[in-house]
Amino acid sequence: MQKSEMSPPELPPASLKDPCYVNAMAHFYRGELGRIMIWRQRLDVTTTWAITSTTTIIGAAFSFKDIPHIIFFFNLALVWIMLWIESRRYRFYDAFRGRVRMLESHFLVPMVSQNPKILDGEWRKLVCEDLIMPSFKITRLEAIGRRLKRNYVFIFAIIMVAWTMKILINAKTPIHSFGAFYDALAVQELPSWLAFSVYVGTIISITGLTFFVARTSSEEVSEFGSGNSSLWRI
């Protein structure tokens, strides 16, 4: 038989009793866990920037009466930019988190339960395909909605409350009706309709995205675990 016609020997399937396989998978898990921790820290950085810029602008707006309420336009723009950047970082975090969850479910669980049958399935193939060609697991809209639901909805709520208080405090005449509030939105060359559009549009977009993601997206960690979850209180 010619050498070119010889087929390579088939390797035995990996098992939990193979020390080389277990060692390699343990190091792989540690590496992926470290990677998602780095991306998790990057998420905290953008959130900190959003909170810092918001508190600074709100403090300046209420410290100086001459500052018009349109300063909150700039505040909203900054927070939207931070949310956009954080959603991109969250997609990378979620992509690598998917690998970690795959290893935890199909490698660590059989190790802890001592049940090799749980290793059955095509999870190794999925992990290998993702290593060769990494892909995002969620869309940009879902990433924005998740970060909005977790953190940014509270930041936007604080901005809107502060904006409303600034309008009420600095109004030239007392505001007792919607028409008076609408007129108070005008500042110099800024028409009332533009400020009102930004004001209402922000509320509608934030509320809509938050409820949409809450109804269509699953959480990273479930609110209620299995029936034996109460044992963790011991």
Q: For 57-95, write each residue's pLDDT tens digit.
A: 999 999 888 888 889 999 999 999 999 999 999 999 999
Contact indicator for 118, 109 with CB cutoff of 8 Å = yes
Residue 41 has, within 13 A of its CA and on its CB side, a CA count of 5
Task: Indicate yes or no: pTM above 0.75.
Answer: yes
Q: For 150-206, write each residue's pLDDT tens digit.
A: 899 999 999 999 999 988 888 777 787 888 888 888 887 778 888 889 989 999 999
36 forms beta bridges with: none
Average pLDDT over every residue of 32-39: 90
Residue 170 has, within 13 A of its CA and on its CB side, a CA count of 20
Nearest to 210 by CA among 156, 170, 129, 136: 156
How is the chain split into domains, by residue range?
Answer: 17-218
